[in-house]
Structure 1
Amino acid sequence: MKKALLIIDVQNGMFSIEPPIHRGETLLKNVKRVIGYAKKQDIPVIYIQHVGPKNSPLEKESESWNIHEAISPECGDIIVHKNTPDSFYQTNLHQQLTNLHIEHLILSGIQTEACVDTTCRRGFSLGYKVTLLTDAHSTFNKSNISADQIISHHNEVLRWFADTITTGEWIKDNL
């Protein structure tokens, strides 16, 4: 089953928002690790880049809109631009995946309860096998719920739509 790694909204602006992204350095480390593994296995890496409104942290063509420098795309990587939490809605993602004969999506990125959740569910609904890397997605603390609680909740709920495993477990299982 041919796989692709999706990295959702890991952009500079997501690291400039207050409160800060939860465990941002760990997130970057895990995403970088899975990118390295994917490249060694010839698994396509697809960056999803959110296009925010003017004067937002993800305003198109701004420095904060760029993919985070710790995981910058390389030649041959695909970048898909989106305007909503759904990486498939009004984008060419599904067509890109079809062209590459992808059947299995490996998900990582930001923001757990929005773009990661929506893309996971939508990928499942489109017939893809989905794996969510439980330690390679993150979000922000909210006034009434912690980022840890949000992440834990989504790792539990999204198991109905995806295999939920850590980055290390996924790499080990795919050696």
Structure 2
Amino acid sequence: MTTTSAVLVIDVQRGLFEPAPQPFEAQQTVQRINALTARARAAGVPVGVILHEREGSALAHQSEGWQPVAQLDVDPGDRLIRKTTPDSFLRTELGAWLAGLGVQRLVICGYASEFCVDTTTRRAAALGFEVELAADAHTTHDKPHATAAQIRAHHNATLPGITSFGPRIRALPSAEITL
């Protein structure tokens, strides 16, 4: 496959995954992401690892908490992209990197389903990218209003219903995503 596709791994960082309580299905989610990115790399599909940062917090740039979780397979050829908002495109190099590669389709996974994964998925579709959300490879923490499992299920059900952007958004189990 050509580089018309790319995989984005959002915010799978120590400061978000390692403190107790961990996100929903944290270990399984990372395993699914690793399997997906291994397939992508084998197919020549680029992988972007997006890292959220916030100065004065556990996610301060280059801090221990800012680093990808130890279990996440990050390849030297992966593109590391720093961000400061839930939108992985806003004030980052992501858009220029994808344009330079001729990417038209994004596979999105990571953390947090209701914030960074949701916002990046919507923004990608608004920018004209076809999006495949790895339905079992994004996660979050339980919230007072809903469990993390409910939040994941909600986003897997609602994001594909957004058709007004034009490009299709699909939610598929990570093992069913073609690269």
SS at match of 2:136: strand
Q: Which residue of 1 aligns with 2:172?
A: 165
TM-score, normalised via structure 2 length: 0.91
Give the structure with the higher percent helix: 1
C-alpha displacement at 1:15, in angstroms? Answer: 1.3
Partner residue in 2 for 1:27: 29
Runs of 5+ consecutive residues of structure 2 not aligned to the other structure: 163-168
Corresponding residue of 1:93: 94
Identity among equivalent pairs (%): 34
Query: Which one-letter code corresponds to 2:29 in the other structure?
Result: L
8 A Cα contact 1:17 1:57, kept in partner = no
8 Å CA contact 2:6, 2:45 repeated in 1: yes
Matches of 2:123 and 2:13, distance apart in 1? 22
1:139 is the counterpart of 2:146: no
Question: Partners in 1 of 2:73 and 2:131 — Cα distance?
Answer: 23
Contact 1:19 1:141 (8 Å CA) reproduced: no
Backbone CA RMSD of aligned residues: 1.3
Matches within 5 A, 1:1-175: 2-54=4-56, 56-161=57-162, 162-170=169-177, 173-174=178-179
Residue identity opposite 1:44 in structure 2: P
Could you report, residue by residue, the CA deviation over 1:23-76 in whole angstroms, capped at 9, with x for unpaired residues? Answer: 10101110010011001100000001001231x221211111101122242222
TM-score normalised to structure 1 length: 0.93
Runs of 4+ displaced beyond 2 Å: 16-19
